Structure formats: C-alpha cells, structure tokens
Structure 1
C-alpha cells in the first residue's frame, strides 16, 4: 500500500519506522521541515519537503497515493481531510478535536474512500476497549474511561513533563467535554469533575478533558446511564492548570501559555501510559463490573529509545491502517474507532504493543 505520512515529528517518525519495517507499505513522509525529514534517512523511507499548510501543494503531493496518515497538529485536520477526499485517498489521523472529527464525518458522507480520524490512544484505543467491554452487558449503567500519559519521574510543581503535542494538550484543557449523564448527552466543563484513585499503590487524580470519548457518546446514546472520559495526572496538577488558565486568564492567550510550557517544561522519553476503563451494568440478572487496566512503559533501548506515548499512539494508528489493509474495516465512508474489534486489534502486529504491556490486576 502506498502511504503518504504527513508530519515528521516524534510520533510521525515512529509511525514511519513501524510501517516501513513491516515490508507491506511504500511510505513517503511529507513535512515542511527538511531538518525533521533528514532524521528519517536511516529508516530508508522516501521523504518530500511540502508546505503541509498549503492545500494546493498538498494535493499535488498526494496524487497517486492510496492512503494519507495525518500526524500534523490538530488544527490542520479538516484541511488535510478535504485534500485527501479530492485526491481520492483514504484518510487516517490522530486528532482529539471534536469539531474536526464532526467535520471529517461530514466530509466522509458518500465518499468512495475511507475516513477514520482519532486513531491514537485517547481517542482511539480507549474507545475500542470501552465498546468491547460494553457489548458484553444486557444493559449498561456506567462507562468510565481514564487515560494518562505521565512522566515516570515528576520533579516540578505541575508533576508533568512534555510527552506529546503542547497544542493538543492545551486544546483538550480548554474545550467542552462530551459526556452522558443520567441518560442525557451533555457538555461538561474541562478540568472539572475532579476525582482521586490509586493504581499499583500510586495516587492519581483525574478530571474532564475534551475529545477522549471519540464518537462513543453517539454510539451509546440511549443505551448507557453515565459515560465519561477523564485525563489522569498526579495530584495537584489540575489545580495549577486552573490557576494558569482561569485565574491568570491564559485561556484567552493560549499561545503565551504554550510558549511558557515549551521553554520551561522539559520533554521526557521516560514516561508511562495508564489505560483504565470500568464498565458496570446488568448481566444475567446481576449487577456486575468489568475492568480493563494497563500500564505501558517507555522502551529504554539505547540505540532507538521510544517514549510510552510514542509507542501507544503510533501503535494505534498503524494497527488501524493495517486492519484496513487486511479488509477488516469498511472500505469507504466514516469509520468509528468502536468498529474495531479489540481481539483483532490486540492480535495485530502493531496493536500487540498494548498486549505486551503489563496488566494491572488490582485497583484501590
């Protein structure tokens, strides 16, 4: 399969290595940064310098490609999806942006090619897990989805290091959060709904953030009493972000906040990803609960280290593309994450990154 991979950042480079290494994909990585593309020379993929914000230049570059994998910043998702449609390409991305996903769904109506956004960790894998668990119930009560990408060794007051896109991080902290409460779809406030829990003896907090549910609100509407998604952090992080965004009013000056974080908060490759889903409801006349809890750790290989967020995000989108190539997903139109079968995902050569993680047996 001929694949155009847009974006040569940390995640894009990991995707390129996985697909190229499989031997089943002809990958061309496109980015406006020649320096970023140069880092892929040892991988052996084709590279092309393209202004990815210029729709005409992008269309010219995508002609002749079968599939587009969009690993660019979330604000380019709609533009790239439109260009993919025009170029006759299948489209996959990692966006967590709710508005972008709704527009991509509209773009996909009647399309002869496939459009599958939100193929990362959350939204993405977390929705596949939640839907899989939910299917085993006669009636659903509560579906709770919790995900955190955290530094393994937090040292600052925020107890956080940059592990992925600052743009995506601030976006999910600032936009309304879809959820279902008492059977009604609502828009909850970001950073609200604070809760605490322990996992493997470590204390965490969780709070509302935007986008993590993907399309599950729509899929489970009328079938579940309560459905929500929250981001996991170490205790104290939420209060400091509330102070920055609201008390200091940086929500209305997000570029300043992003610049501060980029300059003052070190990135880390030493991270851990938590995936924690609980589903309760009726089965066989009894009220029961199912739990899926995993920790995925960074790969500390000295020659090619990978952060946990790189591993999980790249595995998510590579598995989606691979399942599509194998004919296990619809060939055209809009594809939801929950249309992926969890067993098929975990059996996939890329999805195995989650299978090989450490399952958490007990939760306090």
Structure 2
C-alpha cells in the first residue's frame, strides 16, 4: 500500500485529497494543515490521518511517503517545496509561486525524483493543452491561452466573486506578464490593454494579459504566445482603479499607529464582501495556429455549484489526476510541468469529462 501526504487543506487541497481517495483506493493518506480546526473534516475520511503543520512533521512524513501533494499559498510555498525536495520525495504542487520551479532541478535530478509544478487549472491543464497542440501541429506560429474563473453572471460591484485565495487572485493583476511577441520575450503591465473574446457556450468576455505562461516560456516554441485571464465586461476597469489607488501595494501604511499592508486589507475585503450565493464557471479557451497554418481551438467549461465552485474544483481535478499518474509511476523523473506530459492528454480529458467538464475541440 502506498502512502500519500497532502499538505494544505484549503479550497483546493481538501478537494484534491477527496479525489485522490477515489483514484487511489488502496493508498493510505496523511493530511497536513496549520489549522487544527479542519481535523474533524479529515477524520471523517477513510484511510487518512491528520497532522498539524510543523517542519518536523513534514520531515518525518516526507521520509516515509511515496508522494507529497502540496496546495499551499503562493507567498509561502517555495521554501517548503525546497525542503521537501531535499528529502528526495516525489512532489506534485499546485501553488502559484513567484519563483521559477526549475530552481529545484539540481535537487530533483540528484534525487532521481519527480517534481511537477503548477498542476492545476491554469497554469496546469492549460499547459497540457499547449504541449499537446504544439506537438500535434508540428510547431506553433501563435497560441492564445485564455482562462477564467467567473460567476455565471456578472455580480456587482466588480462582476466577480472570490472562490480561491484572495492574495493569489490580486497577484494576477500586479505581476508583470511575461509573453512572447514577434519572437521576442517581453514583460508587459497586465492591465495595459483589454482583450475581447467570444467563448462558445458562454458569450462575450473581456480579458487581461496575465503571467501564467511560466514554464511554457521555456518549453514551448511559438512566435507569439500569451495567457489571457477572462472576466465579465467592465471588471478590468474596476481592478485598474483599485491598483492605481495603491490598494494592491505591499508597502506598509501607518493608520492610527497601526501598520497595515493595503494588499492584505483589500484581500480581506474581497474575502468578506465579494461573496454571493451564485454558481460559477471555470473556462479554458485555447486558440492556436501551427507553423503550416493549421488551426486548433479547444474550449473547456465547468459549471460549478454553490457547494462546489468550479475554479477550485477544476484545479483539484487536474491536481489529483496528475498526482495519480505519479503515484502509478507513469511520469519520468525530473522537473515535469504538464506541457511535458502531452501523451497523457486523452487520459486527462476522459477524467475531466467524467467529472462534468464540457470539452469542445475544433481543428482545421
């Protein structure tokens, strides 16, 4: 019986844990979180032992686990991933870290283990599609990867509701977006332009260029490549106003002798005020043109529910299935982002469709 440890039991991690129990019915599980309040939820699951987070606990669990599955906040994940990698254990991570995951390559290669970064919705499944399309079209002239987790209709005041870590959400509007334009690597202000797109079965949306290409910049060759985050029309103007006012700044302000980071205040406001009793959608729309002029368009849409929002659920589905492949020994050692796993595209697609993800593909 294999032993799997899941670290981080938030919106994504807990769902990943439950999905892995379905995928790996003969495995035993450890579940780790800094919040002891989630212990009753974990203890209700079969074959699972809860542990309160500490460095000593992680070290002990890494020494005996066949696989570590991590779903940690982006701001704190990388040092933990590095310490786990040094324990020579296989890791599947879903954190949106600022650091380049290839910084861990020397450790992973020395250990002969597997490290899969960005194993989520986007980046994640988006990378898998990009790798699959690049191989299928024999090279890429251009690829637009458009992704969004949005309410099923625009909810005031921002046309958006928060269903995942609000600090990670805000980071998308701040971080310079690295793209390829006319064969050159450049970094652009994510809110410098608004892009309009019509998505099948959804309607007209707007988008902003975001820093989601990450490992694709290293592993996919294209003359033009960008990721676009999708929202309902009007949203981007609101977010640019908040950013320009300084409410996304990490610099401390003194207010009544109290030091406050505006970005943390904004994240708390988002977490408490951008809630609504509404279903949501997770959308991936990829448009690619091959070097020979052939075209490929894939649209994947998941309709969420109030109990099971689409964005964290889609993320957890990819996270869990990727972890399943590693647990089964189907991924070769090394740093292996999902664009390197295109031979498993049909397996991912079948699994996602079995969980009510609607996938539409056009080729011409």
TM-score (norm 1): 0.88
Deviation at 1:148, TM superposition (A): 0.4
Aligned partner of 1:166 in structure 2 is 166
May I ask how many residue pairs the two structures share in their alignment? Answer: 348
Q: Deviations over 1:312-350 (max 9, x none)?
A: 1111111111112233211x22112111126x3442598
Structure 2 unaligned spans of 5+: 251-261
Deviation at 1:81, TM superposition (A): 1.5
Alignment partner of 1:8 is 2:17: no
Q: Distance in 2 between matches of 1:349 and 1:19?
A: 17
Aligned partner of 1:36 in structure 2 is 38
Q: Distance in 2 between matches of 1:43 and 1:269?
A: 28
Asked whether the 8 Å contact 1:269–1:306 carries over to 2, the reply is: no
Aligned partner of 2:271 in structure 1 is 262
Poorly superposed stretches of 4+, deviation over 6 Å = none
Alpha-carbon RMSD across the aligned residues, in angstroms, is 2.3
Q: Distance in 1 between matches of 2:103 and 2:241?
A: 32
Deviation at 1:139, TM superposition (A): 4.3
- The worse-fitting range, judged by mean Cα deviation, of 115-124 and 189-198 is 189-198
Q: Deviations over 1:234-266 (max 9, x none)?
A: 011111111111134533431121122122111
Q: Distance in 1 between matches of 2:278 and 2:5?
A: 26
List aligned pairs for 1:341-356, cutoff 5 A. 341=342, 344-348=344-348, 351-353=351-353, 356=356
Q: Distance in 2 between matches of 1:100 and 1:217?
A: 11
Describe the SS at the equivalent of 1:123: coil
Aligned partner of 2:309 in structure 1 is 307
Q: Distance in 1 between matches of 2:241 and 2:300?
A: 31
- The worse-fitting range, judged by mean Cα deviation, of 200-209 and 315-324 is 200-209
Q: Distance in 1 between matches of 2:266 and 2:247?
A: 10
Deviation at 1:24, TM superposition (A): 3.5
Asked whether the 8 Å contact 2:17–2:320 carries over to 1, the reply is: no
TM-score (norm 2): 0.88
Paired residue for 2:319, among 317, 320, 333? 317
Where relative contact order (Cα < 8 A, 6+ residues apart) is larger, the structure is 2
Describe the SS at the equivalent of 2:86: helix
List aligned pairs for 1:204-219, cutoff 5 A. 204-210=205-211, 212-219=212-219
- The worse-fitting range, judged by mean Cα deviation, of 2-11 and 75-84 is 75-84
- The worse-fitting range, judged by mean Cα deviation, of 270-279 and 200-209 is 200-209
Deviation at 1:228, TM superposition (A): 0.3
Q: Deviations over 1:56-95 (max 9, x none)?
A: 4421343311211111211222122122123331111112
Deviation at 1:353, TM superposition (A): 4.2
Q: Deviations over 1:275-317 (max 9, x none)?
A: 100111333xxx23210012111257xxxx4221232111111
Alignment partner of 1:234 is 2:197: no
Aligned partner of 1:71 in structure 2 is 71
Change (3 A) 1:355 1:75: same
Aligned partner of 2:142 in structure 1 is 142
Q: Distance in 2 between matches of 1:346 and 1:269?
A: 32
Describe the SS at the equivalent of 1:250: coil
Asked whether the 8 Å contact 1:70–1:80 carries over to 2, the reply is: no
Change (3 A) 1:156 1:269: closer
Alignment partner of 1:291 is 2:292: no
Q: Distance in 2 between matches of 1:94 and 1:333?
A: 17
Describe the SS at the equivalent of 2:204: strand
Q: Distance in 2 between matches of 1:108 and 1:218?
A: 18
